[in-house]
Amino acid sequence: MAPADRLVTYSMNISLDGYIVGPDGGFDWSEPDEEVFAAHTGELRGVGVHLLGRRLHETMSYWETADQEPESGYSTVEWARMWRAVPKVVFSRTLTEVTGTNTRLATRGLAEEIAALRAESDEGEIALGGAELAAAAAAADLVDEYRPFVLPVVVGGGRPYWPEGLDRIDLEHVGSRTFGNGVVASRYRVVRPGA
């Protein structure tokens, strides 16, 4: 795979009505069971760098020490170690520095950062995390593959997976998997004219 072909992916748990966070700001309804958590762990194995917004960076800071708790099971330990190993770039309009293992603050705009990451390596995907960051990437046509994990719950509002005001995006269905708890994980590749 050439560096220019390094996929930019957006994967999140979402409600059946399309939200990643409910109207009260909570997302306790999206906590994965072991089977779904294992699928997320599998995705993380393919990530070469993770781009995050400030809010998600703050949420994910839990994984810096999660494996040090005495009650941590194998899955928690595995995820925490993998998360610390993955390089992370945080986009923020308010932070002047960030903490976390293998974590740095973005020094360029989103498109420029992705172009630089593609130019420097073809190892692993460029994963996006955080609704605002993903919305900006989608609006700028920077996402190559969408990977929603749709949960069998309707939350009635909140922060949407798909930002409002997007132009049409043509997608090719790459595959789907249904889990025992009813979660459906799908992969959709963006189809660009002339590609």
Nearest-CA neighbor of 192 among 159, 162, 169, 173?
A: 169
Amino acid letter at 147? R
User: 133: pLDDT confidence band, cut at 50, 70 and 90?
Assistant: very high
Judge whether 195 lies within some domain. Answer: no
**DSSP 8-state secondary structure symbol assigned to residue 95:** -
Dist. CA 8–CA 84, nearest whole Å:
20
The residue segments making up the domain with residue 106 are: 3-190
Rounded mean pLDDT, 71-89 = 91
List C-alpha distances in Å: 68 to 5, 64, 73, 103, 124: 37, 9, 10, 19, 27
What confidence tier does 2 reach under pLDDT thresholds 50, 70, 90? very low
Mean pLDDT of 83-102: 94
Domains in the chain, number: 1
| Residue 129 belongs to a domain | yes
pLDDT at 1: 41
Q: How far apart are CA 126 and CA 144, in angstroms?
A: 10
Q: In the predicted model, what is the mean pLDDT of residues 184-189?
A: 97
Q: What percent of the chain has pLDDT over 70?
A: 97
Which position has the higher pLDDT, 4 or 97?
97
Q: What's the mean per-residue pLDDT of the chain?
A: 92
Angle at 35 between CA 71 and CA 146, to 5 degrees: 120
Q: Is there a domain that residue 100 lies in?
A: yes
What would the pLDDT profile of 30-67 be if each residue is shown by its tens digit? 988 999 999 999 999 999 999 999 999 998 999 998 88
Could you tell me the pTM of the whole model?
0.91
CATH classification of the domain holding 57 = 3.40.430.10
Instruction: List beta partners, residue 146.
Output: 10, 188
**Range with the poorest average pLDDT among 7-11, 47-51, 53-57, 73-77:** 73-77
**Mean pLDDT, to the nearest integer, of 121-136?**
92
Strand partners, 164: none
Please name the residue ranges forming H helices in the chain: 34-45, 54-60, 74-85, 110-120, 131-139
3-state secondary structure of 160: strand
Looking at residue 195, its pLDDT comes to: 64
In a domain, 113, yes or no: yes
